[in-house]
Amino acid sequence: MSSNSFFLKHATARDADWQVSYPALAMASSIDPVDERRKQIVVAAADDTGVRMLFFSTLGAILDFRASWAEIDSSARSWLTFTVRWYRRWLPDAGHVRALEQHASMPTDLRLAHCSIGGRLSDDAAFRRYLDNVERHYRRDAKIARVLVPDSTADDIGRCPPSDAEYSLTPE
């Protein structure tokens, strides 16, 4: 099986609920430059049985890829090696790094979230708690924060809702 069709067979496009939950991650690969170099962000986890990777595209799509190591054959392994080397990869902790290195290769651009996934890789709720940690990291980036909360609205944060007079279209 070619690596492209292997990826498409094992990837699921995540819906708007995921997109609105992770706006900073979605922006991180399109704002120039977040961290040191602009790269597509992949938030991944790996264990002895398989790998799960969420690809945050520069166009706003979130692709959730899952496969067992047994399913990753020689043509897909070359694709996996490419993604491990090219993309900025987040992993929960050193145990996930060891699993990825044992079954694929060591990522060249790696960040650790220093958290654990409180369940199996297939457990969406547990995986989303891990994603929340990575999202918080990017929300602290000044360039992303300015886009998420522009200066014009920053003054309004904490302010009471506007009075009826502020909504009036006629002069008083």
pLDDT digits (tens, 9 = 90+) for 70-95: 998 666 888 888 888 888 899 999 99
- Check pLDDT > 50 for residue 168: no
Beta bridge partners of residue 41, listed in sequence order: 56, 88
Per-residue three-class SS string for 141-168? CHHHHHHHCCHHHHCCCCCCCCCHHHHC
Position 169 scores a pLDDT of: 43
Query: What is this structure's pTM?
Result: 0.79
Rounded mean pLDDT of 54-78? Answer: 86
DSSP 40-62: -EEEEEE-SSEEEEEEE-TTS-E
Among 17, 35, 93, 84, CA closest to 55: 84
Position 36 scores a pLDDT of: 58
Q: What does the DSSP 8-state code read for residue 131?
A: H
Beta bridge partners of residue 120, listed in sequence order: none
Rounded mean pLDDT of 156-169? Answer: 47
